[in-house]
Chain A
Amino acid sequence: MLYHKIKIYFWLFGINLFISSFTFGGGYVVVPMIKKYFVFNKEMFSEDDLVNMAAIAQSTPGAIAINLSALAGYKVAGILGAIISCIAAVIPPLIILAIVSVWYTTFSSSTIISAVLKGMQAGVAALIVDLIIDMSQMIIKRKSILLTAMIPAAFFASFFFNINVALILVLCCLLCLAQVYSYKGGQSK
């Protein structure tokens, strides 16, 4: 039992170190990576759980990638799992930046690195669109007009009108609560 637990802690440490080393282009790419390793390979939780975690990680302050690592670690191995995952997730950027900061002018003008990153950008875009397709399918499947309509509404509010993210999230929660309230009210009559 203890052996099994220690094995999970080590796995969490290793996998978060690995994922964090490949997180280019923003926190959202962590979602497909966690899906690959936690959901498909190890079957530690379901895809539905992952979408719940992603929504929570997005709706709370801080870096989405780190929040999501904490939640996945917590789900698998409790508080200690969350702590181990977070430490592992911040180690690669800490080490890499400590090294890079010494000669950062050469680094930022390197054409090789910018070429690699330009290629990766297209890959990251594909990963995120893939994630969007999966999430859309899950939400539309519920056949709720309100929940489906909220997706483009949140998009327009954020992309075209630059409305504060926190405000969008709170409004969507309130709308959902109002819907349950009116639904329940109708039932009791």
Chain B
Amino acid sequence: MIEMLSKLLFTFLQIGLFSIGGGYAIIPLIQEQVVGKYGWVSQQTFTDIITISQMTPGPLAVNTSTFVGIQIAGVWGAIVATFGCVISGIIISLVLFSFFQKYKQSIYVFEVLNGLKSASLGLIISAAATLLLLTFLGTTSFEMDSDIDWIAIVVFSVSLFALRKYKLNPILLMICTGLLGLIIY
């Protein structure tokens, strides 16, 4: 048991450390390790795990590692896998943040941070483009024959308007759009 847990911890430490960009970037890494290298779960189970992780709240990486951990070594497996997956990111973020705070007078540090901001925004737009395609067309590839989901476009437009104009509470928005989905679909 201890041996299994330490193997889990080491594997997820590795996954956490090499997954820059969050969310979807982490999935192929986990798949390579737990399906390919160790064979802890089958490909079918792994696909199910991704589906479930997307359906439940919380960051995708945390959900996926929690679920894989449970499948392999129960609740302790889940805790160990999650811990391994997030700890390196937390430590590196904190170190980088204190570094930027300490040297924020330096023009070099200031400009690097500005560069990171611009690049991050570009990456967020990229994630948003994928999400918009998925929401409006139900697919991420450009195909002429895919059906346009007009309801989703209306819900999106009204939500965006409410956010811009009335600074609507994001959590309230999630609840409202969730309920709308339940009624419409």
Contacts and interface: CB of A to CB of B under 8 A. Distances in A.
Interface of A: 18-29, 32-33, 36, 40, 51-67, 70-71, 74-75, 79, 82, 86, 89-90, 92-94, 96-98, 100-101, 104-105, 107-108, 112-133, 135-136, 138-139, 142, 144, 147-148, 150-155, 157-159, 165-166, 168-169, 171-173, 175-177, 179-180, 184
Q: Which A-B residue pairs are the 10 nearest by beta carbons?
A: A119-B181, A62-B89, A154-B122, A93-B58, A123-B177, A126-B159, A176-B115, A165-B21, A172-B119, A150-B118
A147 B114 contact: yes
A128 B79 contact: no
Report, as a range, how many residues of chain B touch the other chain: 35 or more
Interface stretch (B2-10, B32-40, B123-131): B123-131
A136 B118 CA distance: 8
Given A90-B86, A158-B126, A172-B118, A123 B63 contact: no
Interface in B79-122: 79, 82, 85-86, 88-90, 92-94, 96-97, 100, 107-108, 111-122
Contacts of B175: 22
Interface of B: 16-26, 48, 51-63, 66-67, 70-71, 75, 78-79, 82, 85-86, 88-90, 92-94, 96-97, 100, 107-108, 111-132, 134-135, 152-153, 155-157, 159-160, 163-164, 167, 169-171, 173-182, 184-185
A101 B170 contact: no
B127 A148 contact: no
Given A108-B51, A130-B163, A92 B57 contact: yes
Contacts of A25: 54, 131
B126 to A, nearest CB: 4
The main secondary structure of chain A at its interface with chain B is: helix
A59 B116 contact: yes
Given A24-B174, A56-B100, A132-B124, A93 B114 contact: no
B181 A117 contact: yes
A33 B63 contact: no
Contacts of B82: 90, 93-94
B174 A177 contact: no
Contacts of B170: 22, 29, 32-33, 36, 127
A82 B94 contact: yes
B111 A177 contact: yes
Given A22-B57, A113-B55, A71 B122 contact: no
A135 B45 CA distance: 39
Nearest to A75: B97
Nearest to A96: B56
Contact of A108 (B52, B60, B123): B52
Nearest to B99: A56
Contact of B116 (A32, A55, A75): A55
Given A147-B115, A155-B122, A100 B56 contact: yes
A157 B18 CA distance: 20
Given A119-B184, A125-B128, A62 B56 contact: no
A135 B175 CA distance: 25
A85 to B, nearest CB: 10
Nearest to B20: A166
A175 B119 CA distance: 11
23 contacts: A23-B57, A23-B59, A26-B24, A36-B169, A54-B120, A56-B100, A56-B116, A59-B96, A67-B89, A93-B66, A94-B66, A97-B66, A101-B52, A118-B185, A119-B179, A119-B182, A120-B177, A121-B135, A127-B170, A166-B20, A168-B122, A169-B116, A172-B116
